[in-house]
Amino acid sequence: MARSDRLYLAIYVFVLAPIGAVVAVCAMLLFGVKPRSVFAVGFAIKSALGPHVSNAAGVAGTVAIWWVAIVIVGLLWERVRHRRWN
């Protein structure tokens, strides 16, 4: 992997993917998806951590799961694209 490819990967993983995760969660809420459905993973994480956990832990968990999903899709896309061109 070339040095510039690593830079682009770092920008994707640490800048674009987190922004995409936040935008995905906000877009779902904007278009009328029930908050209980949007933050289901966050509620599960919050309940696993205990009864006195802040709601911020649930929100952060939801955004983190979306971030991981976006990173996985991006890496798979790059792998498929790389195989097609080589």
**pLDDT tens digits for 32-55?**
999 999 999 999 999 999 989 999
More confident residue, 6 or 33: 33
Cα 50 vs. chain centroid, distance in angstroms? 23
What's this model's pTM, rounded to 2 decimal places? 0.85
pLDDT at 6: 85
Percent of the chain with pLDDT over 90: 76
Examine the pLDDT at 59 and tell me if it is beyond 90.
yes
Nearest to 19 by CA among 58, 57, 56, 74: 74
Q: Which two tokens stand for residue 57?
A: 């832990």
CA angle 14, 7, 62 (to 5 degrees): 15
